[in-house]
Chains A and B, each alone.
Chain A
Amino acid sequence: MKIAVIADIHSNLEAFRAVLHDLAKESVSAMVNLGDLVGYNASPGECVNLAREHRIISIQGNHDRAAVQPRFAEGFNILAHQAVLWSASALNPEQKSFLDSLPHTLLLWDHYLLFHGAPDNSEAYIFYLFQAKKAFDYMRKKMPGVKIAFFGHTHHRALWRRDVRGKVQSLTVTQGIMAVDPEEMCLINPGSVGQPRERQWEASYLIFTTDPPALEFRSVPYDLRGAQTKIREACLPDYLAERLAKGV
């Protein structure tokens, strides 16, 4: 079975459409979204609608939550704060209700854990070894038997493994298909569709094959100018448009 894994779309309709267009060539059984459909960019409502139309299995990210419950935006930095308040103003009640209904985590088919930032906190990051170890420990304690988890939030593609002896390490993400040892635990981040931060601007996503488990990290170009124009037309901070081109 093939699963498309996407994350951090952040209201970038142009990037989201490009990923869906690329996926049309594949026969994926399901699409999963690891949160943050909205925030930062200028098409929050359209992105929510598109996710619903394609029946994408979604969880809630910290920006999704802040867009429907503004008190959670108070801890955001001023850039993210401004953008998420704008997202909130652009969403209709039905779209907000959809975002509000999303779970924080999801155990998919009893095998694959989906979370946004960390398994116990959608605002925490997994960037460093100690953070990956903490996530693996949480999984072993709370959901023994689950070996593979997908997460987002950092906007960086990542693959962490925990081998049978308990050693945790980060593997270099490469082009092409990467095999996953079914005996090991894995934390996988597909990168960001709508605001990649790896100094490359293309929309990132992932194809996961279940049997045998394997990954393929992908990125696709999109209408960058179109996305930037919308940000400027919406009078969102200009830096949000500039950063898309720089991939930061």
Chain B
Amino acid sequence: MVHPYEKEAKLKDGSRVLLRPMVAEDREKLMAFFQAIPQEERIYLRHDVTDPEIIKSWTERIDYTRVFPLLALAGDRVVGDATLHRIPYGWKRHIGTVRVVVAADYHDRGLGTLLVHEIVELATEFSLEKLWAELPLTAPGALALFRKAGFSSKAVIEGLVKDLHGRNTDVVIMVCDVGAQYG
């Protein structure tokens, strides 16, 4: 499989990763990546990513116009996954939703910021005007990461979601004005 496009990027510690969209052949690599994500982080995801059928469905039904999955690879290993979700019609057609997961050993190395920056840049290519992200108020590192990439907090919804222990937790809504990033 020829990857549609790719780009090498450097992290804060000087190590390099390859950025490229997910392709069908990434199934095994993605499975290994998600299975290594700790349970306390998996709670933020929308699907049970430890279920091989979920990963299979993602890799078999790739549609970049609805979901653009951007992978970061170190050698042959997936170390980060950022997705840009789009709604093709209606009043939210100019808004993309961003989700990011980074391997534990790649935390604090600038990979999350790099991936979110790349998604912000790609949003201009997809004619998106706003990007939306939902983050737990209890994750200051993730909030700072999105802030660095140009997002700002727009609302806090108290007690909206459940944490791992079933406790209600606050959610921060962050929005990025894509065109305003390049002034």
Instruction: Let me know if A79 and B183 touch, CB within 8 A.
Output: no
What are the interface flags for B95-128 relative to A under an 8 Å C-beta threshold, 1 for contact and 0 otherwise?
A: 0000000000000000000000010011011110
Q: Shortest beta-carbon distance, A244 to chain B, in Å?
A: 13
Main secondary structure of the interface of A (DSSP, over half): loop
Any A CB within 8 A of the CB of B180: yes
Cβ of B22 < 8 Å from any Cβ of A?
no
Q: From residue 201 to 248 of chain A, which have CB atoms closer than 8 A to chain B?
A: 235, 237-239, 242-243, 248
Residues in chain B near residue A242, CB distance under 8 A: 65
Whether B183 pairs with A82 at a CB distance below 8 angstroms is: no
In this complex, how many residues of chain B approach chain A with their Cβ under 8 Å: the count is 24
Partner of B5, one of A81, A127, A131, A197: A81
Determine the main DSSP class of B at the interface with A.
mixed
Q: A124-B182, A127-B180 are in contact. Are A78 and B64 (CB under 8 A)?
A: no
Complex Cα–Cα for A130 and B179 (A): 11
Task: Give CA–CA (A82, B4) in the complex, Å.
Answer: 9
A130 to B183 Cα, complex, angstroms: 8
Nearest residue, chain A, Cβ from B19: A78
Q: Is the CB of A79 within 8 A of B5?
A: yes
Q: Is the CB of A197 within 8 A of B118?
A: no
Question: Is B118 touching A131 in the complex (CB atoms < 8 A)?
Answer: no
B10, closest chain A residue (CB): A74
**Shortest Cβ distance from A117 into B: residue:** B182
Please state if A77 and B125 are interface contacts (CB–CB under 8 Å): yes
Q: Give me 23 A-to-B residue pairs in the complex whose CB atoms sit less than 8 angstroms apart, sorted by A's number.
A: A76-B121, A77-B124, A78-B7, A78-B20, A78-B21, A78-B122, A79-B5, A79-B125, A82-B5, A117-B182, A125-B179, A125-B183, A127-B180, A127-B183, A128-B180, A131-B180, A131-B183, A197-B127, A199-B127, A237-B4, A239-B64, A239-B65, A242-B65
